[in-house]
Chains A and B, each alone.
Chain A
Amino acid sequence: MVHYLSSVRAVEDAVGVKIPDNARIIRNLMHGAQFQHDHIVHFYHLHALDWVDVVSALKADPKKTAALADNVSNAPWGGAVYFKNVQQRLKTFVDSGQLGPFNNAYWGHPAYKLPPEANLMATAHYIEALRLQAKAARMHAIFGGKNPHLQSFVVGGVTCVKDLTPDRIAEFLYLWKETQDFVKNVYLPDILAVASFYKDWGAIGGTTNFLAWGDLPESEKEPESLFMPRGVILNRDLKGVKMANHEAVTEHVAHSWYEGKTDRHPFNGETKPQHGDYDTNGKYSWLKAPRYEGAPCEVGPLARVLVAYAWGKKEIKDLVNTVATKLSIPVTALFSTLGRTAARCIETVAIGNAMEGWVMELVGNLKKGNTATYTPWTMPKSGMGVGLNDVARGSLGHWIRIENKKIANYQYVVPSTWNLCPRDAEGKLGPVEESLIGTPVADPKRPVEILRTVHSFDPCIACGVHVIDPDSNQVYKVKAV
């Protein structure tokens, strides 16, 4: 969905077409649904088990779990019988000896801090979230035909004009509500409950610079109307937040498996593979090293929330302050692994809340008889265009150059390239590299602490981390997927 959006926007920029209001709203609704869906799946299914010990949940007292859940969560399910059944289901599964996704993990590791009851509550919500996400994905199917890989965006607008009917919109709204209820009543309370046991992670895993292209335009004016604003913050200086400009981006290849000597703007980007061995002093990554005014930047939920906070965006600022107050942590604790995982939830609440208004705006247009969803256009002989988005994982840009009505060059710089890039020509570390320095690791053979920080970035690639024990010099390889 996200590359689809950026590629369509890049071509629209190159050919100079303005899309109708309804197309903008439908794209925002699809993108909003993507945030809701993706962040729920990331937290519960790709990240939570770094913090939640599933096996410990077997020792929980269902009654106490029910009491805990009543206290911290507004989940629609609960009670001692419910948690007893979840525990029984888990026990049957574990007793079968076929542990599936839980096999050979880090259960019982000293870094797990939740009591058994909190582990059982979180495990129950892990299972509930599996079903909820399957339902939430139907929002995409309504106006996009299917999920994943929806298929209704075209250069000039959207194709789903036939689906702009009261029953389809009502269906969307119903799914939106069920999903957003989960976000507000389960996801946010779970984040607060889990984080309260891991406050030390508010000082681990932070980085220095933050970039957000911003996204979700609420009018045709960009970047002014972006619901998640555009901006860049260098050296953690929130007061110094400034507008970001794509012209300040270059990509280095000094430590990447590509030919070339100089850093280049994506419009002039080259992709000439030069594969070799893994050599941390030389080339060691397929990712290039993108830089903003020469600075490596973290992108993603934390960057977006910090930029929005720094610009004073009310919807985000209020939520950040509420979360900080509830956890009794300063706002500066956001510069961390804990902050990154909390920011993901914060923006899900804010974006999800905004979606209802967008649906009503669409309904308003339709009521007035405005059903336009597409603007015709013609392919120019040549052109250049950029499509900037800020998607679940972070800032995404596509750059296209058209010559003789064909693609002459096409480059993209994706969120995981920003976050997981290698060093640049000047030796500056990439954000994930920087974030891992100083991470406490209790057992180098089972470094679940490393996974916490790497997973908190929501990497879209597998990455290799080598842990070296300073006492024995023993090297351990960790692959975070």
Chain B
Amino acid sequence: MREAKDFYKRLSEKGISRRDFMKYCGMLTATMGLSSSFVPKVAEVFAAPKQRPPVVWLHFAECTGCTEAVLRSMYPWIDELVLEILSIEYLETIFAAAGQQMEENLKAAVEKYNGKFICVVEGAIATKYGGAYGKIGGRTFLEIAKEVCPKAAAVVCLGTCSSYGGVQAAKPNPGGYKGVGDALGIKTVNIPGCPPNPINLVGTVVNYLLLGKLPECDDLGRPLFAYGKSIHDQCPRRSHYENDEFVEEFGSEEAANGYCLYKMGCKGPDTYNNCPIAKFNDGTSFPIQAGHPCIGCSEPDFWDKMSPFFQESG
């Protein structure tokens, strides 16, 4: 426990009390669906391991919104994730190196940590026309994924694009875009969302570090702790649905009262995610709270299957 003690000392030097630290470990443990007896163990995962677990983060066809979402992590803080908890070996967005030096980083990490690194993938993979729609340093997304993913201890797809193809794969899908599992024929843990809540990535990684295995998932590869229940079943506006109190026009008195958005096209009943409980950005809000119907962004093919977004589901 000496390391743990040092860790708290360092935390306090940074102005973070042990109490605050345990609070975020507690929140994370609850989000992961573990009992409170796991809180100290979760804290241990963060207690400055000798060798921080290596993470290789690949970007394919995406908008970098998922990386941006993780940059907003406050449980734990993003600087702690990057400097003290994980060892980010490759992540184009925040690395100081570029070009040849950056590609050397990828090669070195995959060799050094063969079979041991966590591979986070953001973005879909173009499969038509020999992968012409997406290349990095002259290599196609498909080539890179085929080389890197099989060498990972676990492949975690962050966001709907790497999980299921996302907007690129929407009809008519000119580039033949697919999610990673589909493109490579491998099993992946999927954390869909546009973007997903970073706490669900952190929860998945902590689960892996804590228990040595990936969390239990549904048949779409989504961790049950986060995607086990529908938005509708967890919605704070649910009682309005039961009471037949609906918004039928934005900006109306009913909207100001926070009535149910089902008639405005809300896809909460068909969407599995923990948005109403975990909320985004330090628990500040989530789309339904901001008066907007859920668009089902964590479901496969949501661009095709959930649209029109503003029409009541038939």
* Residues of chain A whose beta carbon lies under 8 Å from any beta carbon of chain B: 20, 41, 45-46, 49-50, 54, 85, 89, 93, 96, 98, 100-106, 127, 130-131, 133-135, 137-138, 140-152, 154, 156-163, 273, 275, 371-376, 445-446, 451, 462, 465, 476-481
Contacts and interface: CB of A to CB of B under 8 A. Distances in A.
B97 A104 contact: yes
Given A104-B104, A151-B290, A162-B256, A142 B285 contact: yes
B74 A144 contact: no
B129 A275 contact: yes
9 contacts: A98-B87, A106-B101, A127-B79, A134-B73, A145-B289, A148-B68, A152-B287, A161-B250, A481-B102
Contacts of A376: 249
Interface stretch (B21-29, B132-140, B208-216): B132-140
A479 B98 contact: yes
Contact of A480 (B10, B98, B282): B98
B54 A98 contact: yes
Interface stretch (B36-44, B88-96, B183-191, B217-225): B88-96
Given A144-B290, A476-B100, A480-B99, A104 B105 contact: yes
Contacts of B103: 479
A100 B79 contact: no
A127 B252 CA distance: 44
A157 B250 contact: yes
A275 B132 contact: yes
B300 interface: no
Contacts of A54: 96
A176 B162 CA distance: 34
A147 B108 CA distance: 34
B35 interface: no
A130 B79 contact: yes
B88 to A, nearest CB: 5
A372 B251 contact: yes
A20 B104 CA distance: 53
B280 A101 contact: no
Nearest to A155: B310
Contact of B285 (A131, A141, A157, A275): A141
A148 B69 contact: yes
B285 A146 contact: yes
A162 B68 CA distance: 27
A479 B99 contact: yes
B286 interface: yes
A160 B100 contact: no
A373 B99 contact: no
A167 to B, nearest CB: 12
Contacts of A105: 95-97, 101
Interface string B266-297: 00000000000000111011111111100100
Nearest to A175: B284
B4 interface: no
B102 A479 contact: yes
Nearest to B280: A146
A238 B281 CA distance: 42
A93 B83 contact: yes
Contacts of B290: 143-145, 150-152, 159-160, 163
A101 B256 contact: no
A118 to B, nearest CB: 17
B14 interface: yes
Contacts of A50: 96
A145 B286 contact: yes
A50 B51 CA distance: 28
B51, B96, B108, B289, most chain A CB atoms within 10 A: B96
A156 B14 CA distance: 46
A150 B137 CA distance: 32
Given A100-B89, A134-B72, A141-B281, 18 more contacts: A46-B93, A89-B10, A96-B87, A100-B83, A103-B95, A106-B96, A134-B282, A145-B286, A146-B286, A149-B65, A154-B310, A157-B250, A157-B251, A161-B250, A161-B291, A374-B251, A465-B99, A477-B137
B285 A145 contact: yes
Given A151-B290, A156-B250, A130 B71 contact: yes
Contact of A131 (B79, B91, B105, B257): B79
A375 B132 CA distance: 44
B13 interface: yes
B89 A134 contact: no
Contacts of B92: 462, 481
A481 B98 CA distance: 6
Given A141-B284, A145-B285, A146-B287, A49 B96 contact: yes
Nearest to A45: B94
Contacts of A373: 250-251
